[in-house]
Amino acid sequence: MLVYKTEEEIELIRASAKVLAQAHGEVASMIREGVSTRELDSRAEEFIRDHGGQPSFKGYNGFPFSLCISPNSVVVHGFPSDYTLKDGDIISVDGGVLLNGYHSDSAYTYSVGEVSSEVLALLESTKKSLYLGIEQAVAGNRLGDVGYAIQSFVEKRGYGVVRELVGHGVGQDLHESPQVPNYGKRGAGLKLQTGLVIAIEPMVNLGTKNVVQEADGWTIRTKDRKPSAHFEHTVVVRKEKAEILTSFEYIEKALQ
């Protein structure tokens, strides 16, 4: 069932999204060699709770952490651990906040130290594809237009677009209808209407699109063990231009 949001509900999601954006900024300020992914998770949880929210992911279907932290060939759903960031790593940090009964969801992939130009190009292209997808999230377009914009851009550059994992609706539940694939055909799929809030989240691999699931039942890794990038915003469909509710503003300030 699709749940279109009122302006009042959108404001509640926006408030949740601001806390999430600020929590991402806290994490961004810690990204450096020698920091453990568990430390990043602890800081995010502390910040979210200090600002009246709850980490959306913690306890979700039994997930034991506040963030999904996915280094290098891990696509998504990586467990924070004692793993320490190393020169040349990339690391996807995906988080959500529940505040005043509404969720928000966003992700960003960082480079650590000196990363190869090939991998930096993957990050840049994946981030660009997110915004190309968002440009299509306007009333009257279809979900296939969003997926096509992402898929066509990254596949022209030789990358693989993950099929098994997709974006989703966001609201009182973390994952609502509809599913939002990062691939598709123009003019196909659900017709978008004003007030639909969705998370658009390209997951793009340097090599094959194929992925495998680790024995923990959560961690998704590229089949060829090549790096994967992941960027995500929560957005609301509008008549002429999608509105982005989450923000990378605090991340970008921390990375300056």
Residues 6+ away with beta carbon under 8 Å from 51: 19, 22, 23, 99
For residues 154 and 39, give the distance between their C-alpha atoms in angstroms, rounded to a whole number. 32
Q: Is 201 annotated as a binding residue?
A: yes
Residue with tokens 């430390």: 39
Q: Is 230 annotated as a binding residue?
A: no
Residue with tokens 């130290």: 113
Residues 6+ away with beta carbon under 8 Å from 116: 88
Q: Around Cβ 196, how many Cβ atoms within 10 Å?
A: 27
Cβ–Cβ < 8 Å for 38, 81 = yes
Q: Is 168 annotated as a binding residue?
A: yes
Q: Is 233 annotated as a binding residue?
A: no
Instruction: Let me know if 121 is exposed, middle or buried by CB neighbors in 10 A (0-12, 13-18, 19+).
Output: middle
Q: Which residues are annotated as a binding site for a divalent metal cation?
A: 94, 105, 168, 201, 232
Binding residues for substrate: 77, 175
Binding site per annotation, positions: 77, 94, 105, 168, 175, 201, 232
